[in-house]
Structure formats: C-alpha cells, structure tokens
Amino acid sequence: PSKLIKNRTGLRALSADFQLGRQAPSKLIKNRTGLRALSADFQLGRQAPSKLIKNRTVLRALSADFRLGRQAPSKLIKNRTVLRALSARSTCARTCCNLFLKVYIKSKTRILYLLFALLLAACSSANAPTDSAEAGLKTITDELGRQVKVSHSPQRIISLSPGTTEALFALGLGERIVGVTSYCNYPEEASRKERVGDTLNPSIERIVALKPDLVIISTASQLQDLAERLNKLGIPTYISNPRTLSEILSSMERIGDLCGVKDRAEQVVAELRRRIDEVRKKVNGLSRLRVFYILQTEPLFTVGKGAYATDLIWLAGGESISKDELNPWPQFSRETAIARKPEVIILSGDARGVVTAGHFNQRQFQSTPAVKQGRVYRINADLVERPGPRIVDGLEEIARLLHPEAFK
C-alpha cells in the first residue's frame, strides 16, 4: 500500500522485495511484543497478525506474500537493531524450518519406499507359485470341448495318431515331435522318432519319460481315458475329433494355432481346399457311380455313415452302396452287396492300382457290373482312412478311378 510508503520509489522497492522473499518491515510493528509475535509466527510459518498492521489492504498483500513464502524489504525498517534481531530470528527460523522439512520429507519418502517395497515383495511372494506355473501358458478348448492349459508354443510334442503325425509334419513341426506310435510311418522322418507303443496301447511310462509339453490324441483311437490320466500327471493333452473331410482341415488349423504356427496352417489348409474345389469342379454334372468300398473280405466289412471313405466317395462323384449304415465300419452281407449292383469296387489295403479278375477271388461278385467291366481297384488305406493332409490325395485318386475322363 502506497500510504505506508512516502514515495513511489519505495513502493517499487517494496514490490520487488516482496518477490525476492526478504524480511518484513519493522515500521509496520508498533512494539517488541508485536515483534516477538511476528517472529514466532515467522518460525511457525504463519501469517502476520492483522492487529500489527493498520491497513487491511496491506494485510491482504502481506498475507498473500507470506503464503507464497516471501518477506518484506529491510530498507523499510528504521531500527537496525530490530532489523538484525528480526533477520537473525527469521534466518534461524527459516533454516530450522527448511532443515526440518528436508528431514521430514526424506524420512517420509524413505518410509513410503520401504512400505512399497514390502508390499511388492509380499505380493510377489504370494503370487510367485501361481505366476511361475501360469507363465507362458494359454487355455484352449480341444475338439471334445475340454479346457486345456498348454504352452504358447509347445516344443516337445507326442502324437498318438498317424493322421496327426502327418499333419504336424505338413505344418513344419516335425522337429518338435519327440514321440509317435508304431503306426506312424509317414513321412519317412516319422519312422525315426521315438516309439511310445501302438495307437491303442501307448505306454504312459514312455510318454512321461519323454517330458512332453503337449500330447495329441485322436478320437479314432478312443483314448480319452488316457488323456485324463496324462492331465492328472501335469501333461497337457489335446484331443482331435474330425469326422468329415471338412473337419479334418479345420482340425489342422486348430492344431497349427495350438502350436503357434497359425499362419503356416492357414496356408497349408488353403491349398488343400483349393485342390478339393478342383475335384468338385471336374466331377460336377457327371453321373454318380455306385461304389462298394471293402475294408476286409473275410469277414466282409465296409464303410457306413461317418466314415471318411463314405465322404470321399461322394465328393469324388460316386455313392457308397453302404452309406446308410449307422456303424462307420459295419460288417456287410455279400448278398446285400451283390443285390445293390456296384459299378465300382474299391479294395482298401497297402497297395494301389487295378485288381485283375484272377486276383479278385470273390466269385460271388462275378455278376456285378464292377467285375464285368473290370472296375475293381486297390487303394492305399492310409490315403483314405487317416484324418490328415494326405486324405486329399485319397480324394483325388478316388475321383480319377471313378471318372478318369475328367482328369485327362
């Protein structure tokens, strides 16, 4: 306030000194009692009492500046003794306050850090077993709807199905396979993998000894009970359950995703679908031939609803004479087969090609159109009855046998 200062020069000085944080003017204080009160207030960091200051405008200005930590200029104080006393007390108070604040803040900060560290350690300790056990795992649903926790990218895989083994190799995962069954014979590298028994009777001891981080089982082997036993031992087990050609391809995609090669699986399956579509186009519009697919001659077994061969025959432009049988692999009477007059007979086995009349010793079938026209063929069962990528090879071969004219 200008009225407390004789000229504007003093006002400017007061303003500047307020900003620089200097001491309060003694002329605003009437007596030493007020000085002591003000000094005490300095020490406590409080504002100057209004009764020591005549002008409330000054009080508001001084109060505001006190809150900002500023002090009034020394040149406005006439009594140097008072100035020195006030200066000493203010300096001491300020120094003590600063020291106290620094110690307090450091102590408080250290305490907070200590508490945070203890809390973090406690949380880490409490969660350590769970985190380590769960680290790198994902939960997937297999083809029977089971929830399975498995590594994001399994590196030690055991396949208990020949079709699955072929799929894994087709997806570029051959290096990760550590165990297979005695029936896994394709590709050639599969024959050099560690054997864990046959498809229906694998050895749990051998499986455990190989320390797999994933075991894949097909429902075709009916080993669901084994899967549960392995899970109880802490070995993740995925069950595949493809029932049609389309589901075989979907299963390959899921296995690829499961093993961390989703893109590769999509590329492989896309190519297989392209080949299937090509077969469809070539046989489209051609007459369907009646086909009798023989799994075994003594006793006579064929394929029914739900068998892969039944599906392939239809896609290849034929129709299985036993397609309505509820059992996928039913025993069939010769009389019924002959009565349905098959135009093509396909024998499942380990060979391929045309079967001559002399080698087909089923005399009862001599009257069928298939035998009369010399349309009895052999096909490699692995191409038709394994739920793997080579099943598309089987489709193409059956289509060529039924409609050779479409593939010239």
Output the pLDDT for position 19: 43
Tell whether pTM > 0.85: no
Q: What DSSP letter does each residue of 83-146 carry, written as one string? A: HHHHHHHHHHHHHHHHHHHHHHHHHHHHHHHHHHHHHHHHHHHHHHHHHHHHTTEEEEE-TTS-
Beta strands 289-296 and 301-302, pairing class? antiparallel
Say whether 285-407 and 139-274 share the same fold: yes
* CB-based contact 258:240 (threshold 8 Å): no
Q: Where are the domains of the chain?
A: 2-96, 139-274, 285-407
The CA-based angle 250-253-259, given to 5 degrees, is 145
* Lookup: tokens for 302: 């064929």
* CB-based contact 194:169 (threshold 8 Å): no
Output the pLDDT for position 117: 52
Q: How far apart are CA 168 and CA 170, in angstroms?
A: 5
Best CA proximity match to 177, nearest among 259, 107, 92: 259
Residue 57, phi then psi, degrees to nearest 5: -65, -45
DSSP assignment letter at 195? B
Output the pLDDT for position 135: 60
Q: How far apart are CA 277 and CA 192, in angstroms?
A: 35
Instruction: Name residue 79's amino acid.
Output: N
Q: What DSSP letter does each residue of 44-68 carry, written as one string? A: HT-PPPGGG-S-HHHHHHHHHHHHT
Q: Could you give the count of Cα atoms lying within 13 Å of 190 in the half-sphere of its Cβ?
A: 24
* CB-based contact 293:303 (threshold 8 Å): yes
Residue 297 Cα to chain centre, angstroms: 48
Burial of 379 (0-12, 13-18, 19+ CB in 10 A): buried
Mean pLDDT in runs of 10 for the chain (408 residues)?
46 44 43 44 42 42 41 42 42 42 49 52 45 69 92 94 97 98 95 92 94 90 77 92 95 96 98 98 96 93 96 98 95 95 94 61 86 93 96 98 94
Q: Positive or negative, the Cα torsion across 305, 310, 314, 315?
A: positive
CATH class of 285-407: alpha beta
Best CA proximity match to 212, nearest among 236, 195, 189, 231: 236
Output the pLDDT for position 219: 78
Output the pLDDT for position 73: 42
Q: Which helix (H) or strand (E) holds 354?
A: strand 353-354
Q: Does domain 139-274 have CATH number 3.40.50.1980?
A: yes
Burial of 106 (0-12, 13-18, 19+ CB in 10 A): exposed
Output the pLDDT for position 113: 52
